[in-house]
A = this chain, B = another copy of it.
Amino acid sequence: MKKLVLLGSVLAASVLCAQDEVAKLALDNGLAAIPSDAAKLEEMVKAATPDYDKYATTPERVELGKYLYFEPRISKSGIISCNTCHNLALGGTDGVPASTGHLWTPNPHHLNAPTTLNSVFNSKQFWDGRAAHLADQAQGPIQADPEMAASPELVEQRVNSMPGYVEMFKKAYGDDVKITFDLVASTIGVFERTLVTPSKFDKFLEGDDNALNADEKAGLKLFVEKGCTACHNGVVLGGTMQAFNVAKQYKFMDTGDFKGDENGMVKTPPLRNVELTAPYFHNGAIWDLDEAVKEMGSVQLGIEISDAEAASIVTFLKSLTGDLPAITYPAKFPASTKDTPKPALDYK
């Protein structure tokens, strides 16, 4: 009997050891968990937010930011909201190759909408990394003409014309608040900071060895061994600028005049919830995740990834599908008034 127990312990230790090895491998290669500890998470969010001191997270600001995120009236037409192209239930994306905005016009570079989920942890925002943080990013699509197409003045006039919003801004920032375009975008950023989606992958990295099953662990091991973590690392498995010569390496795709940043660098797409964010790549050219994995092996790593290997890596990638905090849809937007500038649909 004693022998049996001993044998059991040895087996358990060996399994534990094997499991630890994959988690250790992942951590050693720069993968990182979303902490389950709320205070630790908030510290990370703070560290990732250059303007945090100016726009610290409070429940009132998060609530207001949520309203503004879902608010179509901050677009010129009145019918496009942040959630149109960054649908929270579609992994923070829109599920189409190129985001389609005002007048049904696709993004001029035919760029695919990056996810807003976990985006606080991106080192840069936009495909070409031109925004340093969320508040800065949020100013872009609201103004971009083929997207929400609203001038800063229009956004300010709309919001200031609705007493319900003025009241919410006062609650969030004090009675002396001046509602500027900058503050609207920054408040959307405050809400976006909360869009963090922990998954079983995080439990695994934090030491729950059974949080991933054997197939998922095998996929994770392969993901590291093939070299994917060279770019897909950190807490969002991506989000940093990397060498990616669009013109050279992606010659088979129509990239318009998109060239990445001034050095030809492109932001590595974060991989959390990647199962939900097809189609893939900056131009949304590939719909199938297996195919995307093989394509990356070929153009970025110069290796061939077999069908079986791609399937295994995808099994791991699906473990990155996480859970948003429960989000109550805004009960009631503030009513427009006589002073609210009318929507402009600009029909052709």
Contact = CB atoms under 8 A, between A and B. Distances in A.
Interface of A: 67, 70, 72-73, 77-79, 84, 87-91, 94-96, 98, 100, 103-104, 106, 275-276, 278, 287-288, 321, 323-324, 326-333, 335-336, 338, 342-343, 345, 347-348
Copies in the complex: 2
B78 A343 contact: no
18 contacts: A70-B89, A78-B96, A79-B84, A89-B333, A95-B336, A96-B343, A98-B345, A104-B348, A276-B335, A278-B336, A287-B338, A287-B342, A324-B331, A324-B332, A326-B328, A328-B328, A328-B329, A329-B329
A230 B287 CA distance: 56
Contacts of A95: 72-73, 78-79, 336, 343
Contacts of A328: 326-329
Given A95-B336, A98-B345, 7 more contacts: A78-B94, A78-B95, A79-B84, A88-B329, A276-B335, A324-B332, A328-B329
The 8 closest A-B pairs by CB, nearest first: A104-B104, A89-B330, A89-B333, A327-B329, A329-B329, A96-B343, A275-B335, A103-B104
Given A79-B84, A104-B104, A342-B287, A331 B96 contact: no
Nearest to A84: B79
A347 B78 contact: no
Given A326-B328, A327-B328, A333-B276, A77 B89 contact: no
Contacts of A326: 328, 331
A79, A98, A345, A348: most-surrounded residue (chain B CB, <10 A): A79
B88 A100 contact: no
A348 B106 CA distance: 10
A280 B224 CA distance: 59
A347 B276 contact: no
A197 to B, nearest CB: 9
**Most chain-B Cβ atoms within 10 A of its Cβ — which of A90, A100, A278, A347?**
A90
Residue from A329, A342, A347 having most chain B Cβ neighbours under 10 A? A329
A347 B101 CA distance: 12
Given A73-B95, A104-B104, A287-B342, A89 B335 contact: no
A298 to B, nearest CB: 20
A338 B289 CA distance: 9
Nearest to A102: B104
A106 to B, nearest CB: 6
A207 B33 CA distance: 56
A100 B84 contact: no
Contact of A100 (B77, B324, B329): B77
Contacts of A278: 335-336
